[in-house]
Amino acid sequence: VDDSSSLVTYLPSNAWIDTLYNDSSLHSVNVQGASASITFNGTGVWFYGSKNPDYGSYQLEVDNEVVASGSATSSSQLVDQLLGGASGLTMGQHTAVLTSNGDGTIDFDSLIFETQNAT
């Protein structure tokens, strides 16, 4: 799922900057508590974004439980980096939220969600 999908909700919407790069897009933010969320049916979800020298930290929750927290800081620019995720969830509806800690920019480029094959 691309960051520009209508399935993704950005709050507050005016805090997020939609940026084009290499014929693609990403959303970036540097506001504490700003979030990107998606509700999906599946068994897992994985968020991807960039890492840069001046980037900050974030937290990822699935169904109101922290499943990952980390820093998007790196010594050089890295794109399409796994920010975190969760798998092994019970098949069904889940909500995943990526939240900025506000200590530097974070960006969100895409996510992948896992599903279970019907039997």
Residue 28 lies in a domain: yes
pLDDT in tens, 79-106: 999 999 999 999 999 999 999 999 999 9
pLDDT in tens, 30-84: 999 999 999 999 999 999 999 999 999 999 999 999 999 999 999 999 999 999 9
Give the count of beta carbons closer than 10 Å to the beta carbon of residue 102: 16
50: which 2 tokens?
Answer: 């960039």
Residue 4 lies in a domain: no
Which range of residues forms the domain containing residue 35? 9-114
Residue 1 lies in a domain: no
Q: How far is CA 41 from CA 2, 20, 38, 89, in A?
A: 17, 29, 10, 10
**CA angle 83–88–89, rounded 5-degree value:** 90
Q: What is the DSSP letter of 77?
A: -
Identify any residues that bridge with 19 across adjacent strands, giving them in sequence order.
Answer: 26
Domains: count for the chain: 1
